[in-house]
Amino acid sequence: MSFQFLSLEADAEGIAVLTIRRPEKLNALNQALIGELGEAFRQVAADGAIRVLILTGAGEKAFVAGADIAELARPNAVETVEVSRLGQETFRLLETMKKPSVAAVNGFALGGGLELAMAATIRMGSPNAKLGLPEVKLGIMPGYGGSQRLPRLVGRGRALEMILSGEAIDANEAYRIGLLNSVVPQAELLDAAKAWARKVIANGPLGVAFAMQAVDVGFEAGPETGMRFEAMSFGALAGSDDRREGLAAFLEKRKAVFTGK
């Protein structure tokens, strides 16, 4: 499928790069773009050759500067709920696709842009990145999952500090509080994201997928349920070809060749 606002490119290593291309609007999210993101996430999830997804924004100023305010101002209350749910459901596709993802935050990640980045597995930022949820400055609040994901990433107190003030923070502060996993010079950002992706790709794909699910189950249902899921997943992997290959490769002091089976 061809996209109006996105480009999706995958290489032979299994790394796909999804670039949001609306630079004249600082890559702001409109409903058409969100629809395209949903389709792109479904394509990546269904493509067995893709192991890791990298998201970034076109240009050097913005990852995603937020929602398209002109479009956001038009819906009535009922329609606004539908807008919120579409964004939440789309970003949840990214969060639950069972494949790791990296948000390469190459500039502004505000409002819906930060909400999108938080749905990724990890976040890397360039020094010029600015991250925040400024919705209260417009008399509204985060609507694409920001009120739920930010506290889980940085803690309740820091999340409320950011959400209620509406102020953005810079890349170094975002790294200090755990919102960014690393800060990388902008010219090296995509290469750094790909380097992390290659580390993941070297590992067993089933183990990676089950580990991601175990973390999510524990966060959502609590540690007791999470540990039960962990034990069941640990057992399920015992019958896999990947487990046999991984243990054999370790004992034979060679590189494992995983098949995802």
Q: Answer whether residue 10 shows pLDDT above 70.
A: yes
Confidence of residue 81 (pLDDT cuts 50, 70, 90): confident
Is pLDDT larger for residue 75 or for residue 59?
Answer: 59
Q: Answer whether residue 208 shows pLDDT above 90.
A: yes
The secondary element (H helix, E strand) that includes residue 162 is helix 156-165
| Catalytic site includes residue 89 | no
- Using CA atoms of 133, 103, 65, 131 in order, give the dihedral in degrees to the nearest 10: 40
- The residue ranges of DSSP E strands in the chain, in sequence order, are 6-10, 15-20, 52-57, 62-64, 101-105, 108-110, 122-125, 130-132, 169-170, 182-183
Q: Model confidence over 95-132: pLDDT tens digits?
A: 999 999 999 999 999 999 999 999 999 999 999 999 99
Which among 13, 60, 95, 135 is annotated as catalytic?
135
Environment class of 202 (CB within 10 Å of its CB; exposed 0-12, middle 13-18, buried 19+): exposed
This prediction's pTM = 0.93
Predicted local distance difference test score (pLDDT) of residue 189: 97
| Catalytic site includes residue 115 | yes
Predicted local distance difference test score (pLDDT) of residue 230: 92
Which among 24, 71, 115, 173 is annotated as catalytic?
115
Q: Answer whether residue 75 shows pLDDT above 70.
A: no
Q: How many CB atoms lie within 10 A of CB 152?
A: 12
Q: Residue 16 phi/psi, 5° resolution?
A: -110, 140
Domains of the chain and CATH, by start = 6-201 (3.90.226.10), 205-251 (1.10.12)
Q: Model confidence over 13-68: pLDDT tens digits?
A: 999 999 999 988 999 999 999 999 999 999 999 999 999 999 999 998 999 998 77
Interior angle at CA 41, CA 126 and CA 75, nearest 5: 90
Mode of pairing for the β-strands spanning 169-170 and 130-132 = antiparallel
Query: What Rg do the C-alpha atoms of the chain give, in angstroms?
Result: 19
Q: Model confidence over 140-178: pLDDT tens digits?
A: 999 999 999 999 999 999 999 999 999 999 999 999 999
Rounded CA gap, 219 and 227, in Å?
Answer: 11
